[in-house]
Amino acid sequence: MDACVKLKEEIRACRECRERFGHEPNPVLRGKPHAPIMHISQAPSIHVHRTGLPFNDKSGHTLRKEWYGISDETFYDENKFYITTAGKCYPGKNPSGGDKKPPKICADLWLGKELAAVENELYLIVGKAASEHFFPGVPLKELIMKDWTIRGKEAFVLPHPSPLNVKMFKDHPAFFDDRLPLIRKRIHDILGL
Protein backbone atom coordinates (compact mmCIF):
# COMPACT_ATOMS: atom_id res chain seq x y z
CA MET A 1 0.00 0.00 0.00
CA ASP A 2 1.20 3.51 -0.85
CA ALA A 3 2.60 5.26 2.27
CA CYS A 4 0.44 8.35 1.71
CA VAL A 5 -2.72 6.24 1.31
CA LYS A 6 -1.86 4.40 4.54
CA LEU A 7 -1.22 7.69 6.34
CA LYS A 8 -4.57 9.11 5.21
CA GLU A 9 -6.31 5.97 6.49
CA GLU A 10 -4.58 6.36 9.86
CA ILE A 11 -5.60 10.01 10.07
CA ARG A 12 -9.22 9.23 9.17
CA ALA A 13 -9.29 6.57 11.90
CA CYS A 14 -7.94 8.96 14.57
CA ARG A 15 -10.24 9.49 17.56
CA GLU A 16 -7.74 11.27 19.81
CA CYS A 17 -10.07 14.24 20.44
CA ARG A 18 -13.41 12.44 20.83
CA GLU A 19 -13.71 13.34 24.53
CA ARG A 20 -12.48 16.90 23.95
CA PHE A 21 -15.04 17.62 21.23
CA GLY A 22 -18.12 15.93 22.65
CA HIS A 23 -18.98 14.70 19.14
CA GLU A 24 -17.68 11.97 16.87
CA PRO A 25 -14.51 13.15 15.09
CA ASN A 26 -14.53 13.15 11.29
CA PRO A 27 -11.02 13.91 10.00
CA VAL A 28 -11.26 15.66 6.62
CA LEU A 29 -8.44 15.61 4.05
CA ARG A 30 -7.88 14.65 0.42
CA GLY A 31 -5.19 14.56 -2.22
CA LYS A 32 -2.45 12.48 -3.76
CA PRO A 33 1.21 12.51 -2.69
CA HIS A 34 2.36 14.03 -5.99
CA ALA A 35 -0.09 16.97 -5.93
CA PRO A 36 1.95 20.12 -6.67
CA ILE A 37 0.04 22.29 -4.17
CA MET A 38 -0.36 21.42 -0.51
CA HIS A 39 -3.22 23.46 0.95
CA ILE A 40 -3.20 23.65 4.77
CA SER A 41 -5.96 25.48 6.62
CA GLN A 42 -7.17 25.64 10.22
CA ALA A 43 -9.93 23.08 10.76
CA PRO A 44 -13.16 21.97 9.06
CA SER A 45 -16.36 23.96 9.55
CA ILE A 46 -19.53 22.19 10.72
CA HIS A 47 -20.70 21.94 7.10
CA VAL A 48 -17.39 20.38 6.02
CA HIS A 49 -17.60 18.05 9.04
CA ARG A 50 -21.01 16.85 7.85
CA THR A 51 -20.15 16.51 4.14
CA GLY A 52 -16.51 15.39 4.40
CA LEU A 53 -15.52 17.73 1.55
CA PRO A 54 -12.88 20.39 2.43
CA PHE A 55 -13.91 24.02 2.06
CA ASN A 56 -17.39 22.98 0.98
CA ASP A 57 -18.87 26.14 2.50
CA LYS A 58 -19.14 29.91 1.95
CA SER A 59 -15.49 30.44 2.87
CA GLY A 60 -14.48 27.79 0.35
CA HIS A 61 -16.48 29.45 -2.40
CA THR A 62 -14.70 32.75 -1.71
CA LEU A 63 -11.34 31.01 -1.63
CA ARG A 64 -11.75 29.04 -4.87
CA LYS A 65 -13.68 31.48 -7.03
CA GLU A 66 -12.69 34.96 -5.84
CA TRP A 67 -9.20 34.48 -4.40
CA TYR A 68 -7.66 31.64 -6.45
CA GLY A 69 -9.77 32.10 -9.58
CA ILE A 70 -10.14 28.36 -10.15
CA SER A 71 -13.02 25.95 -10.65
CA ASP A 72 -14.31 23.50 -8.07
CA GLU A 73 -13.08 20.69 -10.33
CA THR A 74 -9.53 22.06 -10.22
CA PHE A 75 -9.51 22.61 -6.46
CA TYR A 76 -10.88 19.15 -5.71
CA ASP A 77 -8.63 17.39 -8.24
CA GLU A 78 -6.50 15.20 -5.96
CA ASN A 79 -3.68 15.25 -8.52
CA LYS A 80 -3.49 19.05 -8.20
CA PHE A 81 -4.22 19.83 -4.55
CA TYR A 82 -3.44 17.94 -1.38
CA ILE A 83 -5.91 19.54 1.03
CA THR A 84 -5.44 19.18 4.77
CA THR A 85 -5.73 21.13 8.01
CA ALA A 86 -3.84 21.82 11.23
CA GLY A 87 -6.87 20.41 13.07
CA LYS A 88 -8.35 17.55 11.05
CA CYS A 89 -11.79 17.65 12.68
CA TYR A 90 -14.46 20.22 13.40
CA PRO A 91 -13.53 21.51 16.89
CA GLY A 92 -17.01 22.75 17.88
CA LYS A 93 -18.57 26.18 18.34
CA ASN A 94 -16.92 28.86 20.41
CA PRO A 95 -19.50 30.43 22.78
CA SER A 96 -18.16 33.91 21.88
CA GLY A 97 -18.64 33.32 18.14
CA GLY A 98 -16.99 31.36 15.38
CA ASP A 99 -15.46 27.92 15.82
CA LYS A 100 -13.11 26.84 18.59
CA LYS A 101 -9.40 26.82 17.90
CA PRO A 102 -8.26 23.37 16.74
CA PRO A 103 -6.31 21.42 19.38
CA LYS A 104 -2.54 21.59 18.90
CA ILE A 105 -2.17 17.85 19.39
CA CYS A 106 -3.69 17.19 15.97
CA ALA A 107 -1.03 19.11 14.05
CA ASP A 108 1.65 17.62 16.31
CA LEU A 109 0.42 14.09 15.55
CA TRP A 110 -0.19 14.31 11.83
CA LEU A 111 0.99 17.40 9.98
CA GLY A 112 4.70 16.57 9.98
CA LYS A 113 3.95 13.11 8.59
CA GLU A 114 1.86 14.65 5.82
CA LEU A 115 4.59 17.15 4.96
CA ALA A 116 7.05 14.26 4.61
CA ALA A 117 4.64 12.18 2.49
CA VAL A 118 3.62 14.80 -0.09
CA GLU A 119 6.00 15.85 -2.89
CA ASN A 120 4.50 19.29 -3.52
CA GLU A 121 6.02 22.46 -5.00
CA LEU A 122 3.98 25.07 -3.13
CA TYR A 123 2.38 25.45 0.30
CA LEU A 124 -0.74 27.55 0.79
CA ILE A 125 -1.23 28.16 4.52
CA VAL A 126 -4.69 29.55 5.28
CA GLY A 127 -5.63 31.15 8.59
CA LYS A 128 -4.06 31.98 11.92
CA ALA A 129 -4.21 28.53 13.53
CA ALA A 130 -2.44 26.93 10.56
CA SER A 131 0.16 29.70 10.24
CA GLU A 132 0.98 29.54 13.97
CA HIS A 133 2.06 25.93 13.54
CA PHE A 134 4.71 26.93 10.99
CA PHE A 135 5.58 30.45 12.14
CA PRO A 136 4.92 30.66 15.90
CA GLY A 137 4.79 34.17 17.29
CA VAL A 138 4.77 35.93 13.91
CA PRO A 139 1.62 38.07 13.48
CA LEU A 140 -0.66 36.99 10.63
CA LYS A 141 -0.65 40.51 9.16
CA GLU A 142 3.13 40.20 8.73
CA LEU A 143 2.95 36.65 7.36
CA ILE A 144 0.44 37.46 4.62
CA MET A 145 2.58 40.19 3.09
CA LYS A 146 5.84 38.23 2.62
CA ASP A 147 7.17 35.20 0.77
CA TRP A 148 8.11 32.23 2.97
CA THR A 149 9.55 28.75 2.67
CA ILE A 150 8.65 25.53 4.44
CA ARG A 151 10.98 22.57 4.12
CA GLY A 152 12.82 24.47 1.38
CA LYS A 153 9.65 24.95 -0.69
CA GLU A 154 7.76 28.13 -1.58
CA ALA A 155 4.96 29.07 0.84
CA PHE A 156 2.26 31.74 0.94
CA VAL A 157 0.21 32.58 4.02
CA LEU A 158 -3.35 33.83 3.58
CA PRO A 159 -5.97 35.02 6.06
CA HIS A 160 -8.95 32.73 6.41
CA PRO A 161 -11.66 33.79 3.92
CA SER A 162 -14.35 33.64 6.61
CA PRO A 163 -16.95 36.42 6.68
CA LEU A 164 -15.91 36.83 10.34
CA ASN A 165 -12.62 38.34 9.09
CA VAL A 166 -14.23 41.42 7.52
CA LYS A 167 -12.32 43.82 9.78
CA MET A 168 -8.98 42.28 8.84
CA PHE A 169 -9.83 42.51 5.15
CA LYS A 170 -10.75 46.20 5.52
CA ASP A 171 -7.60 46.92 7.55
CA HIS A 172 -5.26 45.22 5.02
CA PRO A 173 -6.28 46.23 1.47
CA ALA A 174 -2.70 45.60 0.29
CA PHE A 175 -3.34 41.88 0.65
CA PHE A 176 -6.03 42.08 -2.04
CA ASP A 177 -4.26 44.68 -4.17
CA ASP A 178 -0.71 43.32 -4.07
CA ARG A 179 -0.43 39.83 -2.62
CA LEU A 180 -3.51 38.03 -3.87
CA PRO A 181 -2.82 38.64 -7.59
CA LEU A 182 0.71 37.30 -7.09
CA ILE A 183 -0.56 34.20 -5.23
CA ARG A 184 -3.27 33.59 -7.85
CA LYS A 185 -0.70 33.85 -10.66
CA ARG A 186 1.62 31.40 -8.95
CA ILE A 187 -1.22 28.89 -8.47
CA HIS A 188 -2.22 29.23 -12.13
CA ASP A 189 1.40 28.87 -13.28
CA ILE A 190 1.94 25.69 -11.28
CA LEU A 191 -1.33 24.20 -12.52
CA GLY A 192 -0.77 25.32 -16.12
CA LEU A 193 -3.93 27.43 -16.22
pLDDT one-digit tens code per residue, 115-128: 999 999 999 999 98
For residue 158, the cross-strand partners are: 126
* pLDDT number for residue 1: 54
* pLDDT number for residue 34: 95
* pLDDT number for residue 73: 97
For residue 157, the cross-strand partners are: 125
Full-model pTM: 0.93
User: How far apart are the C-alpha atoms of 162 and 44, rounded to whole Å?
Assistant: 12
Contact between 103 and 87 (Cβ < 8 Å): yes
| CATH of the structural domain 3-191, one choice from 2.40.170.20, 3.30.1360.170, 3.40.720.10, 3.40.470.10 | 3.40.470.10
Q: Enter the DSSP assignment of 93.
A: B
User: How far apart are the C-alpha atoms of 128 and 193, rounded to whole Å?
Assistant: 29
For residue 83, the SS3 value is strand
* pLDDT < 70 regions, the chain: 1
* pLDDT number for residue 72: 96
